[in-house]
Structure 1
């Protein structure tokens, strides 16, 4: 996630301009790297060898509708039971989070993960657009049938900010299951949780249209497929109460929630308990 320090500085700058309201644009919360970085899978190779597992790693380049190249990996583990399309959290690039891929691969699963535009190894647009990233999410999902065995079920997994893009895919494509990991419901609540007390300094937030549309509950009210919400017991950014409400809002009759003991916002998948719960969720519709 974007650091609390950066959010606080941004809010203070806005306070100097307006004492009663702030304008929230995508750049206020959606992280972008200053420069593009090479894709690095060194730690992933090492983890696979250490655990004496078999997996194929393919570097992927996709050109989106804007002509921007998105880069990431398609990792195929032995005897997979599912394909996973992964949408990351803020400040979460493929190169710096190889361990997340390996954890998911141990389900076992095939995993597709592309860096968001302007993040990690992907190219950057001249202007950040949430709508463009939503279209990128569909492009990434559509690529799966070329990357992995199409006879396997495909799960869309969103982590943190990625929970919205995963939900957007679920609303616009036929998926087999949806996983929301540390999910939020709307941006104003997310920012308020990231900087406790800041909302008391303002009377309102004015969200740009594409930011205002980033709400998950309205999507879940129409989504009827298998749904798993996972949240850390010590998550203060997207606390359990949010996932609990999303679970209530969801139309699915096959919906489940898991609270990961002692886990913070960024640490759910580090827990063996979380992986065990993940396997149980998959078993409900893959067997």
Structure 2
């Protein structure tokens, strides 16, 4: 996260003009310079350390642009749910295998593909948030044809991924939505991530695609089950944001959990978080 903040600062400085910054998709949404091999070593090690078992399948899905999105489908024994996971900015599968194993303890079937231009997935010449939104729908459709359809299919978004998860909820019939360290709009998110800029910059000029990344308008029309989870020590997307999103949601089956001591990137690391996740899943069965 620290390296991402440095990159964001540089990008914003380059866009600085007349007390305003132009926030384009490429200035905000991280892209790797080079494509990297998919590495599941840490996931295998975590499974072996816990003396559990899981089926790990490397997945390739071609998107509407003809780019290959790569990731993993992981199936744990006697799953309760299918989970489509959308990661935070600069969060590749190869470097964050522990997240998969934590969710697997629900237990669950999990699909996670790297965003285009991140990790093992192919990169477009021109980054488009709209294209990534379409990728999200493609991934959901893939889950529905791959995993056990007798199980609930939930969409889980962390950080930036909470927007793409919400977008899927607005355009597909999902069984539940999980927003993990969610934000409301990009201006507020940038101000929290790079607080020094808020003192010197009077306005931001958001590219239309970046400006559209707002979650509250979606939740006002989403009436399905909703769980918001946020770390007690989250400074990037602090608790009041999740509290506001919860209040604006049209759902009548909604929960919010604060994970003690957790930062923005660590919500699912505690046993308490997993127990809260299971409590939410139990509410679906009721």
Query: Which of the five TM-score ranges fits, normalised by the shorter chain?
Result: over 0.9
Post-superposition CA distance 1:46-104 (Å, at most 9, x none): 21122221211110000000000000000011000000000000111111111100000
Contact 2:4 2:30 in 1 (8 A): no
Contact 2:167 2:218 in 1 (8 A): yes
Who is 1:211 aligned against? Answer: 210
Contact 2:12 2:22 in 1 (8 A): no
User: In the TM superposition, what are the counterparts of 1:174-189 in structure 2 within 5 Å?
Assistant: 174-189=173-188
Who is 1:171 aligned against? Answer: 170
Q: Does 1:253 align with 2:252?
A: yes
Who is 1:243 aligned against? Answer: 242
Who is 1:14 aligned against? Answer: 15
CA distance in 2, matches of 1:30, 1:20: 22
CA distance in 2, matches of 1:199, 1:170: 32
CA distance in 2, matches of 1:177, 1:273: 20
The structural deviation recorded for 1:202 is 1.9
CA distance in 2, matches of 1:196, 1:19: 19
Secondary structure at the aligned position of 1:136 is classed as helix
User: In the TM superposition, what are the counterparts of 1:1-287 in structure 2 within 5 Å?
Assistant: 1=1, 3-15=4-16, 18-286=17-285
CA distance in 2, matches of 1:121, 1:28: 21
CA distance in 1, matches of 2:12, 2:51: 48
CA distance in 2, matches of 1:282, 1:211: 32
Secondary structure at the aligned position of 2:274 is classed as helix
Contact 1:153 1:286 in 2 (8 A): no
Is there any run of 5+ residues in structure 1 with no aligned partner, and where? Answer: none
TM-score, normalization: structure 1? 0.97
The structural deviation recorded for 1:115 is 0.2
CA distance in 1, matches of 2:56, 2:126: 31
CA distance in 1, matches of 2:272, 2:171: 31
Is there any run of 5+ residues in structure 2 with no aligned partner, and where? Answer: none
Contact 2:86 2:164 in 1 (8 A): yes
CA distance in 2, matches of 1:44, 1:147: 21
Secondary structure at the aligned position of 2:120 is classed as coil
CA distance in 2, matches of 1:134, 1:6: 23
Deviating above 6 A after TM superposition, structure 1's stretches of 4 or more consecutive aligned residues are none
The structural deviation recorded for 1:20 is 2.2
Secondary structure at the aligned position of 2:155 is classed as strand
Contact 1:231 1:258 in 2 (8 A): yes
Post-superposition CA distance 1:199-250 (Å, at most 9, x none): 2212211111111110000000000010000000110000111001000100
**More displaced, 195-204 or 84-93?**
195-204
CA distance in 2, matches of 1:87, 1:156: 8
CA distance in 2, matches of 1:12, 1:28: 10
How large is the Cα RMSD of the aligned pairs? Answer: 1.0
CA distance in 1, matches of 2:38, 2:196: 38
How many residue pairs match? The answer is 285
